[in-house]
Structures are given as C-alpha cells and as structure tokens.
Amino acid sequence: MLKAKIEKALNKQVELEASSSQFYLSMASWTESQGLTGTSTFLYHHSEEERGHMLKLVKFINERGGKPVIPALVKPPETFNSIKSVFESLLEHELNVTDSINNVVDLCLSEKDYTTHNFMQWYVSEQLEEEALARTILDKLKMIGNDKGGLYMFDRDLELMVQQMPNETQK
C-alpha cells in the first residue's frame, strides 16, 4: 500500500507530466503553423511521450493500491516568439520536471519506499536523455542563427530523428 505522502508526490508528478504533454502539444501546433513540419512532428511525438509518462504513473499508483488523481488541464501559451524560444522553454520545463522527480526520489528514500524508488529510476534516466537532447537541439539552433538554409536542414533532421526513435511507452 502506498503511503499518503508518496501517493501525493506521485499525483503531483502525474499533473506535471500531463501539463508537459499539453505544453509540447501547443509548441507542436505553433511550429506546424510556421511551416516547420519536421519540428512539429518531433514535438507532437514528444507530447505523446509525456502522456505515456503520465499513464505509467497512473497505472503504477493503481497497482500499488493508491488513488490516481487525473488533473484538470492548464492552458499552455498559444504562440511563441521563435523556434529558439520554443526549445529554451522546453529545456527550462524539463529542468523543472527533473527537480520534481528528484524530490520524489528523495521522499522515497526518507519514507523507505524502495519499490517506488525503483520505479522512479526509469524517470531519472529518461530525464537525463531528455535534457541532453534539448541541449543538443538548442546548440544546433544557436549555430544556425538566422540562416534559412540551416533551419531547413535542422527541420528535416528532426523529422528523421523521430523516425528513428523507439516508442517510449514500449521501452
């Protein structure tokens, strides 16, 4: 049985993963409207992944006899200043997610809930990958600057990257 404190922390994480999914969906839609089809494909995929992260938590809470709380949706921004600002926001958001996951892991240790601690290790590795990817993308965008040809290649590269990505929920 899950302790109330752990259940609360996991449900907070459910909410954060759900809001990540909404946030990236909004980014995907905006980049699509800007003609950046590869970038939008990447962000639609990312949004789905976040939904997968949320589902994994919901199922785990149920499995442990807890009560998952499905959160209300927070409206994300509708527009963004630039593609660079999209990925800056994405990285900033992921850093917050990592902080939150680390807090859950800390709590698991102090509450001696080693099962949840073990479960959360998947999220710890996932965050490492996601942060690294967001940084690589931002570095590329900084290199491109205002070069339209560079942006065209960047957009095409993101499309190719998605095709090579495993389905997170099947990992």
Is residue 130 within the footprint of ligand FEO (CB under 6 A)? yes
76 close to 26: Cβ distance less than 8 angstroms: yes
50/113 with CB nearer ligand FEO: 50
Is residue 50 within the footprint of ligand FEO (CB under 6 A)? yes
Among 2, 97, 133, 137, binds ligand FEO (CB under 6 A): 97
| Residues 6+ positions from 111 with CB-CB distance below 8 Å | 3, 5, 6
Least spacing, CB of residue 149 vs ligand FEO, in Å: 30
- How many Cβ atoms sit within 10 Å of the Cβ of residue 16? 21
Is residue 36 within the footprint of ligand FEO (CB under 6 A)? no
Report the C-alpha gap between 11 and 15 in whole angstroms.
6
How many residues touch ligand FEO (CB under 6 A)? 7
Half-sphere exposure of 87 toward its Cβ, with a 13 Å CA cutoff? 21
17/155 with CB nearer ligand FEO: 17
Least spacing, CB of residue 17 vs ligand FEO, in Å: 5
Report the C-alpha gap between 97 and 103 in whole angstroms.
10
Residues that bind ligand FEO (CB under 6 A): 17, 20, 50, 53, 94, 97, 130
